[in-house]
Amino acid sequence: MTQPKPLTELLQQLHGALAGAPSMSEQDRELLKQLSDDIQGALDQPGTKRPEHASLATQLEQTIVRLEVTHPEVTGVLMQVSKALGDMGI
């Protein structure tokens, strides 16, 4: 099943923000890559309410808090992703 276009665009925007943030630590990059992979995994199983989805929401919130001061452009996109996933019931 295909992803809703807005979320696909948000994920592309997130990858662009990462590319444009050369000062981001390798640890933060890995954290965001894992988060992106987890989001993709949740999207690959639409309509399924799983315990991992609650964990994903928590991961998103923690990442936003962690990066909000140093990388506001990334956290802005993450907040949009979080809202889109919430709207989808994930």
Give pLDDT tens digits for 14-42. 888 888 888 889 899 888 888 888 888 88
Residue 87's pLDDT is 84
Range of the domain at 56: 5-13+26-45+52-87
Classify residue 79: in a domain, yes or no: yes
Q: Taking the complete model, does pTM exceed 0.85, yes or no?
A: no
Classify residue 19: in a domain, yes or no: no
Between CA 58 and CA 14 the distance in angstroms is: 18
Look-up: residue for tokens 């802005």? 76
Between CA 14 and CA 52 the distance in angstroms is: 21
Whether residue 4 has pLDDT greater than 70: no
Classify residue 20: in a domain, yes or no: no
Whether residue 2 has pLDDT greater than 80: no
Classify residue 40: in a domain, yes or no: yes
Q: How many domains does the chain have?
A: 1
Residue 48's pLDDT is 62
Residue 41's pLDDT is 82
Classify residue 41: in a domain, yes or no: yes
Q: What is the pLDDT of residues 43-79, one digit of tens each?
A: 887 666 666 667 888 999 999 999 999 898 889 989 9
Look-up: residue for tokens 């994930």? 90
Classify residue 9: in a domain, yes or no: yes
Classify residue 18: in a domain, yes or no: no
